[in-house]
Chain A
Amino acid sequence: MSWEIVMGLEVHLQLATQSKIFSGSSTQFGASPNEQADAVDLGMPGMLPVLNEEAVRYAVKFGLGIGARIGERSVFDRKNYFYPDLPKGYQVSQFFAPIVSEGVFEVPLEDGTLFPIRITRAHLEEDAGKSVHDIFTHETGIDLNRAGTPLLEIVTEPDFRSADQAVAYLKTLHSLVTYLGISDGNMAEGSMRCDINISLREKGSEKLGTRTEIKNVNSFRFVERAIYSEYERQADILESGGTITQETRLYDAENNVTRSMRSKEVANDYRYFPEPDLLPIVIDEAYIEAVRATLPELPGAKRQRFIESYGLNDYDAALLVPHHDMADYFEAVVKACNAAKPAANWILGDLSGALNRNEVSISESPITAERLAGLITRIEDGTLSSKLAKQVFDAMWDGEGDADDIIAARGLKQVNDSGALEAMVDEVIANSPDQVAQYRAADEAKRKKLSGFFVGQIMKASQGQANPQILNALLLKKLDDQS
């Protein structure tokens, strides 16, 4: 039987505010346990929440970023459940009236098409703390540093039909929120955590199957693998005539399986009711417009502009745009050398490769945009062959100065002079009678391959500085002429 997968995603996004959503404690990651938890975060008797306005602004930015509806009056609610790392015994969230609703998010797929995902809602809430099981023997520690960190929970409609779509959505979302500056998007530190609602149905069927929810998946790769493994599990059950149990599952990355959480932890009645300690958030048109005025150019618009004003293809634009710093770097290079396509190639090719190998981000690149532009300028004006350019690139990476310094210091100028090149060609032909004879006896198809020997010899003799285009033309002419 053939199955169609149907998925909706819930993303918990940590907002990058300086302090917590309802207290003045810092949200910095990595402090010693409970160092960043004050009386409010600890849920001490008599303590009251005070809303951090910055979190509201970030939520509105997000709403505007996806063209969603911003609630004129959104309300906080208490979500009640007992857990040791939930200090008050309830989480302050938004259930009945979320701050953002009804948005559509356009996700570019690899083929350049845009795939619309409907955003049901995005609401503000506070994060819980952490239970620490590996420090004390037979005892559980509680770290409340994370308690009260502002979260935006972004919920989609069940619009996904493949793992690729889900991952593309998450990547695009990641790009959007980092562009907006509302989250650092650091998945390893838990700044972006994903719950996947997943069900299967027979291809062609309109009816939704029973779903499971995979909680807290924290990398793009794990999302993809969790989906595949849950797909396999559900398909096996359905094909053997079984039924899916609606439940919450956890993805075990080590064994690449999803596991059922104990049903006790799932069967919760959260008893939501309006949080009486906080006033409703009232947002008027003036506020929305003031926030809108602060929005940067967003990835979708930037992608379009890169294609239109720089003549990039969809593929390059899609790779350059998601990372804000990379897009900025690209524009700085183009501004300095006015060669967009080569700039894109260098950034996505050699530069990205070197950055990845050395685990350096582009904002910390040892080769500045101006220097890369200098290199491209020397390629464009014919000073450097691509082979020489790579040498110069490596030298720049090692901090040997800008392209012109390195060219001068190493004497790396490309030989474009046809007289000099002709002499070299003549010499190689004279010194390689066997190869010349072989070449001349060969047919067209083989000749192409055999010509490589001569090019290699001349490049060797010229220390790579021969202009390959001129060389090729000369070489072929000489070889062919005397045949």
Chain B
Amino acid sequence: MADTQLLTAPVSELRQLLSDRAISSVELTRAFLRQIELCNPLLNAVVTICEDHALEQAALADKQLATGEIAPLTGVPLLHKDIFCTHGIRTTCGSRMLAEFTPAYDATVVSKLQSAGAVTLGKCNMDEFAMGSSNETSFFGTVKNPWDLDCVPGGSSGGSAAAVAAGMAPLATGTDTGGSIRQPASLCGITGLKPTYGRVSRLGIIAFASSLDQAGPMARTAEDCALALTAMAGVDGGDSTSADKPVPNFHGALNTDIQGLRIGLPKQFFNDDLDDQVRARVLEALAELEKAGATLVEIDLPHSHYAIATYYVIAPAEASANLARYDGVRFGYRCDDPQNLEDLYLRSRSEGFGEEVQRRILVGTYALSAGFYDAYFNKAQQVRRVITEDFHRAFEQVDVIAGPSAPGVAFPFGAKQQDPIAMYMEDIYTLAVNLAGLPGLSTPAGFINGMPVGLQLIGRPFDEQTILNAAHRLQTDTDWHQSHPSLGDLAS
């Protein structure tokens, strides 16, 4: 098998090659490590490469493959977003604050994927503390979009998305607080799934906004996402908000029969604000699903235009508390030569956090302050319930809600950096899904001037299966997801 073919093969195929012993996990791991070595100088998608650790895990996987002790992902290499704590491996969260932080524990997601046999290649770059939609806020520099090196990969899981798109790994983990899996998946032309809030444990994931954060897989196909989600999901005694729901075998239950599937198109998503070319691509993809037996219905999400305002009160408010622990006292960045306690706090935090993180801490602190709590935080919580009810009402009529994953394709570096509001609009179609705690995925839906566009599919709570089925059917009938940037051009 040619290198490019191997590097762009989905996990489902790699598993087969591994279990057939057509390739060893060590060989596969070396191939991806080599690709990381070649592409990373240009893309900056990976901040930590764990070659020795990966090869050790791969060798172990090969032993298991030899004895037939095969777990769902045995021998499959992957990358973790650098927000997942990894025992003994530096975990930076894209921040100077944690640039030298090495946890003594694994996130539940990391240990679950490890038990499923996966091999950890390294850690992916990301927006600092997952705050950003372009990967421009990372302390470790921007990640470049493999489809156009002058453009952003999206964010905050931009490193994960770019890495998968560039064949540096067949699978990566991401987290999604307001669109951080789906938007970069869309901008990099891959498939990314944000599960229902509570489906995947948050233990060991560095918190941004606790009531919104959710981890999920980013891969080439919906089928791979189903495989990975099955391994990642499940109740965790260490996370009180993880849901005690049975985890289906999403992969085993994949079904391409979508006859009669009712897909709702919120009129608020397809209004005049939507870019015409994005609209065209999204509708083309939906037409494919219609051809496969789905029916398209216009629906109403009357309060969806409040989502951004609501999100940008709740998420920063929670973040302002979650990030208070980075005070220079116990771990993380500490300023040089603090003069007193206040100086230690002020300089450690001012020097350790970047601008966007500081902006959100300020916004969140303000929203929770005496005299403003009712007007901001409390009101936002109320609106959040209203937005959630909109979705629940819509799901009485339809099985899936569809729309764009992002308002446009990848944009050039710096285009939105000076205008936080323009940047926040990047997540206009994804935020509401987090507020309502619903599962959502982005699947490739064609191109605009050679740049990928994503279709977003939103499901009922804990019904990841239905949106995975629909995406899988789309990927059976189309080949947008099989396109990839020219890997040769990416090698430096």
Residues of A within 8 A of B (CB): 39, 42-51, 78, 80, 82, 84, 87-90, 142, 269, 271-273, 276-279
Contacts and interface: CB of A to CB of B under 8 A. Distances in A.
Interface string B83-108: 01100000101000010010111010
Given A46-B103, A142-B329, A273-B317, 13 more contacts: A42-B330, A42-B331, A44-B103, A45-B85, A45-B331, A46-B84, A47-B203, A87-B330, A89-B325, A269-B370, A272-B373, A273-B373, A273-B377
Contacts of B373: 271-273
Interface string B317-346: 110110111010111000000000100010
Contacts of A80: 320-321, 324, 368
B241 A269 contact: no
B206 A46 contact: yes
A84 B211 contact: no
13 contacts: A42-B331, A44-B105, A45-B85, A45-B207, A45-B325, A48-B202, A50-B239, A80-B321, A89-B327, A271-B373, A276-B209, A276-B241, A278-B240
Contacts of A78: 321
Nearest to B345: A82
Contacts of A42: 330-331
A129 B241 CA distance: 26
Contacts of B365: 271
B403 interface: no
B103 A45 contact: yes
A74 to B, nearest CB: 14
A87 B328 CA distance: 11
Contacts of B105: 39, 44, 46
Contacts of B417: none
B91 A50 contact: no
Nearest to B378: A273
B368 A48 contact: no
Contact of B210 (A43, A84, A271, A277): A277
A142 B327 CA distance: 14
B93 A84 contact: no
A88 B325 contact: yes
A48 B329 contact: no
Contact of B237 (A45, A49, A50, A278): A50
Given A42-B330, A273-B368, A89 B321 contact: yes
Given A45-B93, A87-B325, A277 B240 contact: yes
B321 A273 contact: yes
Given A84-B329, A276-B210, A45 B98 contact: yes
B231 interface: no
B204 interface: yes
Nearest to A268: B370
Given A84-B341, A279-B240, A46 B210 contact: no
A51 B239 CA distance: 10
Q: DSSP class of B's interface residues: helix, strand, loop or mixed?
A: loop
A181 B20 CA distance: 63
A90 B369 CA distance: 14
Q: Which 5 A-B pairs have the closest CB atoms?
A: A89-B324, A271-B368, A276-B210, A276-B211, A46-B204
A158 to B, nearest CB: 23
Interface in B233-270: 237-241
Interface string B380-420: 00000000000000000000000000000000000000000
A82 B324 contact: yes
B103 A43 contact: no
Q: DSSP class of A's interface residues: helix, strand, loop or mixed?
A: loop
A276 B321 CA distance: 11
B226 interface: no
A269 B203 contact: no
* Most interface-central of B85, B207, B330 (chain A CB within 10 A): B330
Contacts of B370: 269, 271
A46 B205 contact: yes
B203 A46 contact: yes
Given A276-B241, A276-B318, A277-B210, A46 B107 contact: yes
Contacts of A50: 237-240
Given A88-B324, A88-B325, A89-B327, A277 B241 contact: yes
A87 B330 CA distance: 8
Interface in B472-489: none
Contacts of B237: 50
Given A80-B368, A82-B345, A87-B330, A49 B325 contact: no
A277 B373 CA distance: 20
A90 B324 contact: yes
Interface string B181-198: 000000000000000000
A80 B317 CA distance: 11
A82 B84 CA distance: 26
B238 A48 contact: yes
A80 B364 CA distance: 12
* Most interface-central of A47, A50, A272 (chain B CB within 10 A): A47
B62 to A, nearest CB: 31
Nearest to A264: B342
Contacts of B324: 80, 82, 88-90
A44 B241 CA distance: 18
A43 B207 contact: no
Interface string B442-480: 000000000000000000000000000000000000000
Nearest to A22: B240
* Most interface-central of A48, A78, A90 (chain B CB within 10 A): A48
Contacts of B210: 276-277
Given A269-B370, A271-B365, A276-B211, A39 B104 contact: yes
Nearest to A79: B321
B377 A82 contact: no
A364 B480 CA distance: 81
Contacts of B91: 45
Given A39-B104, A44-B103, A44-B331, A51 B240 contact: yes
Contacts of A87: 325, 329-330
Contacts of B103: 44-46
A68 B370 CA distance: 30
Contacts of B85: 45-46
Nearest to B106: A46
Contacts of B329: 84, 87, 142
B208 to A, nearest CB: 11
Contacts of B318: 273, 276
Contacts of B330: 42-43, 87, 142
A51 B238 CA distance: 10
A49 B240 contact: yes
A164 B322 CA distance: 44
A45 B97 CA distance: 11
A47 to B, nearest CB: 8
Contact of A271 (B98, B202, B331, B369): B369
Nearest to A78: B321
A53 to B, nearest CB: 12
* Most interface-central of B104, B207, B237 (chain A CB within 10 A): B207
B182 to A, nearest CB: 21
Nearest to A39: B105
Contacts of A82: 324, 327, 345
Contacts of B377: 273
A8 to B, nearest CB: 22
Interface in B154-190: none
Nearest to B331: A44
B203 A48 contact: yes
Nearest to B239: A48
Contacts of B238: 48, 50
A36 B146 CA distance: 48
B100 to A, nearest CB: 13
A317 B327 CA distance: 54
A88 B317 CA distance: 15
Nearest to B204: A46
A128 to B, nearest CB: 13
Contacts of A49: 240
Contacts of A278: 240-241
Nearest to B105: A39
